[in-house]
């Protein structure tokens, strides 16, 4: 890669800087521990991509809260349908996961990231076939600019890594947490199925929650938080995401394609968001909405979150997923396997959107997929 110019107009070799950062295997936390006081150039985003970084809406009502223990199921289904069709996000409470387990998972992720560097270096990898790995920015070498975060990744279902392969800091909690959050996802998928006028087990039987990857994000304090992102704007590629965040906030959702709205931390709640594949199979009845995470403005405390991404069995499934239609509305997307869809996401990273690659134009033939077979 030829030399380019940094924000100060000085020549620098971006590829060499990226490689030097990656070779430390210490992530962004390593830069913070080294005492950086200015944002390294590889993390500086363009002025265009930073537009609106200081503005947001604090309307808490924009992201509804759904009580999963509510007595009138039809009211719960209606609330979920409305949220999934508009903002694409909602929070769930009274979901059955103990508060101690939720807090324990967040604390374990923090303990790992703030523990010995050797523990992180031992599992640092960009090999996406590894079921347990640590890295910073999965698209580090392909994105226009890096984000200020580190990531601990677990593949939890099916065929999870043996417990001895898990870092000691999280070993006692991550498996139990994965089982608990899967129950939440299945409950939400039932509500979403009913929202589409289908039987409650329809989306589950399509395999929408067979695969679980837990992506544990660690956002260290940033020396210049208005010049970069914690995670830049993107949509999630899978079917469903169940997010556990700490009390710091920083997650924002693009509402009505024009207004960035803060997602306030609600004690004891999970945040649910619709993924691209669920928008595809719902034929745009549900919306996978862009969201982002601000760089951490705290001077001394990292932000921690755990995103549980649900998908079909990526190793074994050859199923084609396409729009579920009733014959009256034509399909908007062409059918695709989940494996190919995620491969598209991994290829383009957060700088593009996988869903756009499968949208039909008026001249492209398509077949509606009853039940997405």
Encode pLDDT of 318-353 as tens digits. Answer: 999 999 987 788 999 999 999 999 989 888 877 778
- Domain range for residue 325? 16-42+64-358
Using CA atoms, how far apart are residues 221 and 124, in angstroms rounded to an integer?
A: 21
- pLDDT greater than 50 at residue 174: yes
pLDDT for the residue numbered 320: 96
7 in a structural domain:
no
The token pair that represents 218 in the structure block:
């660690």
243 in a structural domain:
yes
pLDDT for the residue numbered 362: 36
211 in a structural domain:
yes
183-187, 253-257, 267-271, 363-367: segment of lowest average pLDDT: 363-367
Q: How far is CA 292 from CA 53, 177, 203, 229, 249, in A?
A: 10, 24, 27, 8, 11
Q: How far is CA 296 from CA 54, 125, 149, 223, in A?
A: 13, 24, 9, 9
What stretch of H or E contains 77? helix 73-85
Number of domains within the chain: 1
Q: What is the mean pLDDT of the chain?
A: 92
Identify whether the C-beta of residue 116 lies closer than 8 Å to the C-beta of residue 190: no
Provide the pLDDT confidence category of residue 364 given band limits of 50, 70 and 90.
very low
20 in a structural domain:
yes
pLDDT for the residue numbered 6: 53
- pLDDT greater than 60 at residue 82: yes
Provide the pLDDT confidence category of residue 7 given band limits of 50, 70 and 90.
very low
Q: What would the pLDDT profile of 209-257 be if each residue is shown by its tens digit?
A: 999 999 999 999 999 999 999 999 999 999 999 999 999 999 999 999 8
47 in a structural domain:
no
CATH label of the domain that carries residue 32 = 2.60.120.330
154 in a structural domain:
yes
214 in a structural domain:
yes
Identify whether the C-beta of residue 27 lies closer than 8 Å to the C-beta of residue 134: yes
The one-character DSSP state at 145 is S
Collapse the DSSP code of 1 into the 3-class scheme (helix H, G, I; strand E, B; otherwise coil) and give the result. coil
The token pair that represents 88 in the structure block:
């694409």
Place of tokens 């006692």: 172
260 in a structural domain:
yes
- pLDDT greater than 80 at residue 275: yes
Identify whether the C-beta of residue 345 lies closer than 8 Å to the C-beta of residue 139: no
Q: What would the pLDDT profile of 99-148 be if each residue is shown by its tens digit?
A: 999 999 999 999 999 999 999 999 999 999 999 999 999 999 999 999 99
Does 234 or 52 have the greater pLDDT score?
234
Q: Which long-range contacts (CB under 8 A, 24 or more apart) does 344-351 make?
A: 344/237, 345/237, 345/276, 346/128, 346/138, 349/138, 349/139, 349/142, 349/143, 350/139, 350/143, 350/147, 350/231, 350/232, 350/233, 350/234, 351/139, 351/142, 351/143, 351/144
pTM score: 0.92
Provide the pLDDT confidence category of residue 4 given band limits of 50, 70 and 90.
low
- pLDDT greater than 50 at residue 366: no
pLDDT for the residue numbered 61: 79
Residue burial 104-143, b: 16+ Cβ < 10 Å; e: rest: bbbebbbbbbeeeeebbeebbeeeeeeebbbbbbbbbeeb
């Amino acid at each position: 890669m030829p030399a380019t110019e940094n924000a100060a107009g000085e020549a620098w070799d971006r590829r060499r800087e990226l490689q030097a950062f990656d070779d430390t295997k210490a992530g962004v936390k390593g830069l913070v521990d080294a005492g950086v006081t200015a944002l390294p150039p590889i993390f500086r985003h363009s002025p265009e991509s930073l537009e609106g970084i200081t503005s947001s809406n604090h309307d808490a009502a924009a992201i509804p809260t759904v009580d999963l223990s509510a007595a009138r199921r039809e009211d719960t289904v209606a609330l979920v349908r409305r949220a999934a069709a508009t903002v694409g996000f909602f929070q769930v409470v009274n979901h059955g996961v103990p508060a101690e387990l939720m807090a324990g998972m967040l604390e374990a992720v923090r303990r790992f990231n703030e523990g010995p560097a050797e523990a992180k270096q031992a599992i640092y990898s960009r090999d996406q076939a590894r079921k347990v790995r640590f890295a910073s920015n999965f698209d580090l070498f392909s994105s226009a600019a890096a984000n200020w975060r580190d990531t601990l990744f677990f593949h939890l279902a099916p065929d999870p890594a043996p417990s001895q392969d898990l870092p000691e800091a999280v070993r006692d909690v991550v498996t139990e947490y994965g089982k608990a959050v899967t129950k939440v996802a299945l409950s939400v998928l039932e509500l979403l199925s009913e929202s589409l006028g289908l039987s409650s087990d329809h989306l589950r039987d399509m395999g929408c929650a067979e695969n679980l990857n837990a992506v544990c994000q660690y956002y260290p304090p940033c020396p210049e938080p208005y010049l970069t992102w914690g995670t830049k704007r993107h949509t999630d590629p899978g079917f469903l995401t169940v997010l556990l965040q700490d009390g710091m906030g920083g997650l924002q959702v693009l509402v009505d394609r024009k207004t960035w709205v803060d997602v306030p931390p609600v004690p004891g709640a999970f945040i649910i968001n619709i993924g691209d594949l669920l928008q595809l199979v719902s034929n745009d009845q549900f919306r996978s909405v862009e969201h982002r995470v601000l760089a951490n403005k705290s001077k001394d405390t990292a932000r921690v979150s755990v995103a549980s991404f649900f998908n079909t069995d990526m190793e074994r499934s050859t199923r084609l997923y396409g729009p579920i239609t009733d014959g009256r509305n034509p399909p908007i997307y062409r059918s695709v396997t989940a494996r190919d869809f995620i491969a598209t996401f991994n290829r383009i990273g957060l700088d593009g959107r996988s869903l756009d690659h499968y949208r039909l134009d008026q001249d492209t033939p398509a077949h509606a997929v009853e039940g997405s077979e």
